[in-house]
Chain A
Amino acid sequence: MPGNVALIGCGAIAQAFYLPAMAKHRSRFGNLWLVDPADKARSTAASILPGHTASHLKEVPDDIDLAIIATPNASHFPLASEALSRGADVLIEKPFVICPSEGRRLAETAAANSRVIAINQTRRLSPITRALRRQIEAGEFGCLMSIVHREGAKQTWPFESGAGFARSAQRTGVIMDIGVHVIDFYHYLLQPSWTFVSAVHDGFEGPEGLAEIEIRANGSPVSIRLSRYFKQDNVARMTFERAEVSFNVYDAKTYSVKSASGRAISVPVKPVGANKETPAEQLLLNFLAASERREPAFCDPASSMPVIDILDEIYRSARRYPATLGYV
């Protein structure tokens, strides 16, 4: 069992995702430290799962075994670097870094210290992801022809801090928030080589809330629209040589497979995990196992870097919508 475990960042994701799952497996998480500069966030976290509290990572004893980093995106790299250097295995919330150079340096630091980095790309744990990956790997649908993905709704996430909305915030808009999930999902399914085509977003002088992205997966067109403003079609549609696969991204209990003959079937997906664990429990149990070298992490830097690379290119190359007020 690990000794000191630091949960760094006690905001909404810690309160809604990590802490309830850790509470269910309390005995496996040793000496818990709740780390956050905000008093309110720390006290709320402690009401869910009691632990020692600290404002900053430097206040936690040196011998940290595990660090879970659930802070604003731009702080992942410095915090993970510090935790790795202090000998901890780290689990980092998505996106694990905001640019490729940070990702490569983190991977090097982990290797130099013989430490594990795991990343929370939750959609890899979803039953539909696993079911589709199995069928795609088995070649049941043939080669990919195209992808259309529309996802978004009015933002309702209960952010504890406004760090992601500050003018100085880096890469905290819808592309890094939802886009990293979307591209990671397709990357996990298809393992393609990504190329950038075009992108446009409304991050005129701050984090974007709307984005349209055109990329290619092994040469096949991928069209993605993401919004934090209004409900979108919320559909994922993959066209393969022999079938069209689609599902509702917010209610992925079934997916539709339409064959070339036009016949469509609805395929139900079943929960995975030995005891129907929640995705948070699966993730944390996998992190413990990876830390004990019993199994690999569901998502590690090597498998996430192609996603970070293409996201970086999207941000660097994207244009802005015409800034005319009233139109965008």
Chain B
Amino acid sequence: MRIVILGAGGFLGGTVCEEIYQRNDIEQLACIRKWASAVRLARRGIEIRRVDLEDRDSLSQLLAGADAVINTSMPPSSREPELATNLYRACDQAGVRRFIQLSSAAVYGDRTGEVSESMSPEPLDDYGRGKVEMERRLLEAANRSTTQLCILRPSIIYGPFSGAWTVRFVERIVRGRWRTLGRIGNGTCNLVHARDVARLVIAAATSDIAPGPHVLNVNGPDVVSWNEYIKRLGDALGIPDRTTPNAVLFFGAAIVAGILRLGSTPKWVRALYRQSNGKAKSVMTSAQDVTLLYPTQGELNLLARKVHYSTERATQVLGLSPSISFVEGVRQSVEWCRIHGIA
């Protein structure tokens, strides 16, 4: 079986390729947008090709002979619906049997409680809206296609190489000495380990599944809060003297960080930072540290949201469930961070 993976230079794409690499029954072609993102794949000797999804003419050659295509690429939200649909159509023309598209639980926006795929999307931001529009176009195209479509909506993907949900949180816990975030972090942290997601992605590409398009949530086996995640990470890292910050002060600092974030956006501010020296540089570096330490408004909403994404349908369709426990996942994450000099 031959699988083409798009977005292989990214965090999840890289994990999918490494999982496939362990299997003898799958031949893979890992596609990346720029060579700089080839580091993780290259170390294992995986076959890599540079592909520009904007170049439609190159797709038919790329997809020739492929049985399945996995698209984990993350173009800008404004381009994602069109690029994913173009790729899907090219798969159809090339006779690809199945197309796996990574979407996100962000399509559910601010929904709370138990959330299943039967609920309509309610995206909050451009990222979520881009995913919803992409799904809509793909499902529409799937009505006229022989390539089976499977859309996966993972929640919070953590584990080795997760920049957003492992590395950033470890850095924040280390620098901010967070024990928990108190009432700020009481929301549900829908963690799913990257390798679990990769296994489900591969199952979606290779298993015998019921005909027709599928849209499936992907979530981890344990239901924990953000506070439990932060506490367990901190414990595993062995960070002493951690405290739970005062919620009012923390919100205030997050607002200041947001203002600093906006202030550091213009090009002239960044140029000033590069050229500055001595005390001026030190002040600007401190400001940058503050912006990294405190969550954005979107993250604060996420940390407080009490929601759980049901995976019953994925288990039923794929015959497979995520199996890496929260405890084991955190242990692996911290061990990996140590090896990589992050903690």
Contact = CB atoms under 8 A, between A and B. Distances in A.
Interface of A: 150, 152, 155-162, 164-167, 169, 173, 202-210, 225, 227-230, 232-233, 251, 253-254, 266, 268, 321, 325-328
Given A157-B36, A206-B45, A209-B42, 5 more contacts: A156-B36, A162-B50, A204-B43, A206-B44, A225-B341
B341 A165 contact: no
B19 interface: yes
A156 B38 CA distance: 10
A208 B7 CA distance: 20
A155 B44 contact: no
B43 A173 contact: yes
Given A205-B45, A321-B339, A326-B336, A229 B195 contact: no
Given A173-B43, A208-B43, A327-B335, A253 B277 contact: yes
Interface residues of B, number: 36
Contacts of B161: 229
Interface of B: 18-19, 22, 34-48, 50, 159-161, 163, 167, 194-195, 277-278, 281, 332, 335-336, 339-342
A268 B277 contact: yes
B43 A209 contact: yes
Contact of A152 (B18, B277, B341): B341
A225 B341 CA distance: 8
Contacts of A321: 339
Contacts of A167: 42, 45-47
A203 B44 CA distance: 7
Contacts of A268: 277-278
Contacts of B18: 325
B167 A209 contact: no
18 contacts: A160-B35, A165-B41, A167-B45, A173-B43, A206-B43, A209-B43, A210-B339, A227-B340, A227-B341, A228-B39, A229-B340, A230-B163, A233-B341, A321-B339, A325-B19, A326-B160, A326-B194, A326-B332
B339 A165 contact: no
A168 B302 CA distance: 45
A139 B114 CA distance: 70
B167 A230 contact: yes
A162 B39 contact: no
Contacts of A152: 341
B195 A162 contact: no
Given A205-B45, A325-B22, A325-B195, A158 B36 contact: yes
A230 B340 CA distance: 7
B277 A327 contact: no
Nearest to A209: B39
Nearest to B37: A155
Contacts of A166: 42
Max chain A Cβ within 10 angstroms of own Cβ: one of B35, B159, B160, B342:
B35
A162 B42 CA distance: 10
Contacts of A328: 160, 336, 339
Contacts of B22: 325
A326 B45 contact: no
Nearest to B19: A325
A96 to B, nearest CB: 23
B341 A232 contact: yes
A213 to B, nearest CB: 13
Contact of A205 (B37, B44, B48, B332): B44
B336 A165 contact: no
A159 B47 contact: no
